[in-house]
């Protein structure tokens, strides 16, 4: 049985108290929300904070406010189950509720939060193993070792961004509010993720993710398609988020295609959007967009399924996502 290492546990009731506690614990401290990612990582000794500060009992982090006209603010500690069941999110941002419903299992969604999901550690077959297994291969660059087993000549870690909500947040233009003892800042989801499996976030360890801001909908449509082996439980090994806005004449005047689950950060395929903009959302242009997504998708051999097949699935899943949008009223 894998056991947690010893650590101090704090449960602040206010944001100011939480960020002060983390600032006071320096590099030894880490926030935890539902713990469905952090605690297994601690058991595997991938992350070993001495001080753990829970963000679950801060009332401000547990609220959902607003609507499609003003935009919606979601506190980082709102559970995935609450996202799935919230009437405003289901009515105004169904793509967010849908992507949340594809995450893991009902029990994990009861514990797991939207904030923890957006900050999820990157994943790799050579890393998501227990300590003894990793020791057996002399570890790897991401933790305790000096070689990447996926790309042995590489100085970079290629562990994969594996959250279902990340590509959706990038596609719809969400923003995140980060708070520390120094102050607040807002950052676009699109600029928040680094293409590096170790340093994968543009967030300092002392910054708390306070809330997620969904923009007003203004008639845009968005869809998410997830590839995984089993219909539940499994992480995405490809996730396609598609976003379009149509003008009054029915032509696409804005579009984004974001691929998740294939690289350390979500991948925006600009050529796939360019194939749609100024055009009707018809079969020919959807095919052209899906082809562009296929060309840019370069999954690596560090998750489930053969990488060439996952690349081909980028075409199929982009087709599915855009066809769904073409038939949305
Ligand atoms: C078996 C299994 C299957 C899973 N399947 C999926 C899946 O299909 N799709 C998917 O996307 N995920 C999946 N997950 C991952 C995880 O359950 C979810 O991503 C969940 O939403 C993580 O949220 P959490 O609150 O438990 O995060 P935690 O484990 O509490 O935290 C995750 C990270 O975020 C940091 N953190 C959390 N909240 C804050 C905050 N407010 N400010 C600053 N830092 C913070 C923590 O320090 C940690 O680094 C799975 C996990 C398991 C164990
Ligand atoms: S991509 Fe390489 S360095 Fe990163 S976790 Fe996998 S094996 Fe380790």
At 178, the pLDDT band (50, 70, 90 cuts) reads very high
Structure confidence by residue, pLDDT tens digits, 198-251? 999 999 999 999 999 999 999 999 999 999 999 888 999 999 999 999 999 999
134 C-alpha to ligand 2 centroid (Å): 11
pLDDT of residue 185: 98
Phi, psi of 249 (to 5 degrees): -85, -5
Average pLDDT along the chain: 97
Work out the average pLDDT over 299-320: 96
Give the tokens for residue 35: 């713990």
Other C-beta atoms closer than 10 Å to the C-beta of 95 total 23
DSSP letter string over 76-140? TT-BHHHHHH-HHHHHH-HHHHHHHHTSS-HHHHHH-BHHHHHTPPPB-TTTSS-HHHHHHTT-B
Q: Which ligand is nearest to the CA of 263?
A: 2
The percent of residues above 70 in pLDDT, for the chain, comes to 100
Mutation probe of ligand 1 site: the residue of 19, 36, 42 with most atoms within 8 A of C-beta: 36
Residue closest via CA to ligand 1's atom 34 equals: 116
Q: What is the pLDDT of residues 64-84, one digit of tens each?
A: 999 999 999 999 999 999 999
Ligand 2 atom 1, closest CA: 158
Ligand nearest to the CA of 112: 1
Tokens of 23: 């600032």
pLDDT tens digit string along 93-146? 999 999 999 999 999 999 999 999 999 999 999 999 999 999 999 999 999 999
Query: Contact at 8 Å (CB) between 253 and 247?
Result: yes
Pairing relationship of beta strands 252-260 and 267-268 according to DSSP bridges:
antiparallel
Return the pLDDT at 301: 92
Distance from Cα 319 to the centre of ligand 1, integer Å = 29
- Kindly tell me if the per-residue pLDDT of 329 is higher than 80: no
| CB 103, CB 245: distance < 8 Å | no
Our mutation pick for probing the ligand 2 site, out of 302, 303, 307, counting the most ligand atoms within 8 A of Cβ, is 302
What is the enclosing helix (H) or strand (E) of 70? none
Single out the residue of 153, 198, 206, 188 nearest to residue 268, CA to CA: 188
What residues does ligand 1 touch, defined as CB less than 6 Å away? 30-38, 40, 55, 76, 80, 103-104, 108, 111-113, 115-117, 119-120, 163-164, 208-209, 233-235
pLDDT at position 163 over 90: yes
Confidence class for position 58, pLDDT limits 50, 70, 90: very high
76-107, pLDDT tens digit by residue? 999 999 999 999 999 999 999 999 999 999 99
How far, in Å, CA of 275 to CA of 223, rounded? Answer: 17
Question: Where in 172-305 does DSSP place strands (E)?
Answer: 175-180, 183-188, 208-214, 221-227, 238-246, 252-260, 267-268
Buried b (16+ CB within 10 A) or exposed e, 8-29: eebebeebeebbbbbeebeeeb
Q: Measuring CA to CA, how many Å separate 251 from each of 11, 126, 241, 256? A: 51, 45, 20, 14
* Cα gap 289→273, rounded to integer Å: 7
* Span from the CA of 273 to the centroid of ligand 1 (angstroms): 30
């Amino acid at each position: 049985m894998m056991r947690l290492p010893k650590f101090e546990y704090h449960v602040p009731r206010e944001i100011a108290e939480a960020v002060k506690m983390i600032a006071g614990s320096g590099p030894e401290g880490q926030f935890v929300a539902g713990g469905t990612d952090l605690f297994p990582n601690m058991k595997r000794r991938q992350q070993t904070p001495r001080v753990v500060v829970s963000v679950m009992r801060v009332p401000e982090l547990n609220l959902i406010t607003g609507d499609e006209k003003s935009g919606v603010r979601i506190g980082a500690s709102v559970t995935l189950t609450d996202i799935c069941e919230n009437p405003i999110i289901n009515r105004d941002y169904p793509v967010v509720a849908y992507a949340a419903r594809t995450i893991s299992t009902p029990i994990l969604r009861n514990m797991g939060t939207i904030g923890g999901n957006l900050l999820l550690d990157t994943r790799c077959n050579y890393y998501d193993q227990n300590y003894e297994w990793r020791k057996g291969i002399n570890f790897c660059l991401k933790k305790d070792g000096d070689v990447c087993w996926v790309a042995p000549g590489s100085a970079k870690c290629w562990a994969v961004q594996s959250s279902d909500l990340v590509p959706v947040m990038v596609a719809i233009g969400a923003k995140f509010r980060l708070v520390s003892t120094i102050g607040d800042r807002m950052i676009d989801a699109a600029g928040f993720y680094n293409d590096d499996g170790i340093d994968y976030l543009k967030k300092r360890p002392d910054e708390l993710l306070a809330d997620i801001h969904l923009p007003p909908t203004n008639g845009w449509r968005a869809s998410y398609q997830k590839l995984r082996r089993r219909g539940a439980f499994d992480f995405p090994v490809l996730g396609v988020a598609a976003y379009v806005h149509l003008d009054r004449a029915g032509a696409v005047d804005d579009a984004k295609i974001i691929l998740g689950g294939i690289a350390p950060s979500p991948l925006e395929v600009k050529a796939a959007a360019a194939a749609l903009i100024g055009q009707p959302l018809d079969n020919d242009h959807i095919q052209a967009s899906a082809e562009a997504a296929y060309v840019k998708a370069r999954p690596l051999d560090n998750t489930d399924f053969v990488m060439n097949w996952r690349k081909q699935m980028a075409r199929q899943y982009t087709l599915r996502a855009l066809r769904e949008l073409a038939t949305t009223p």
